[in-house]
Amino acid sequence: MVLLGLHASSACGQEHFDNVDVKGFAELIQNPDVQLLDVRTAEEYSEAHLDGAFNIDVKKQGFIDQAVERLDTTKVVAVYCRSGRRSANAAGMLAEKGYKVVNLKGGIIAWKDEQMPVVSSIP
């Protein structure tokens, strides 16, 4: 199984989540059971986000409470931000709550650099 392989290949033994590159992330989010989470600001999300992602700002108070309300612990959470730092922070918090989490290395910057599609909420 791909998801089992992802867990075994964690980049750092201290992390409780996986970091994957754009190709691995793109493959992962093809699974309809994967929950796609953008942890940037609402403004950043509006400008451009991955199709199907929902937004919870990791920097806002109550992030973990909102995440627990919206996310299913039985499904993988694929998380990203601008460059991968905020999402790694969010991934750590979610993993501590029992979620299976995969973080996009390089964030949406890396995603766009690979010419992967994004959508905008701005008309």
In angstroms, rounded to a whole number, what is the distance separating the alpha carbons of residues 28 and 93? 20
Residue 81 is a catalytic residue: yes
DSSP state of 12: S
Catalytic annotation, pick one of 34, 81, 90, 91: 81
DSSP state of 60: S
CB 90 within 8 A of CB 54: no
Strand extents, DSSP E, the chain? 18-20, 35-38, 54-55, 77-80, 101-104
In angstroms, rounded to a whole number, what is the distance separating the alpha carbons of residues 76 and 121? 25
DSSP state of 16: S
Q: Point out the residues that are catalytic.
A: 81
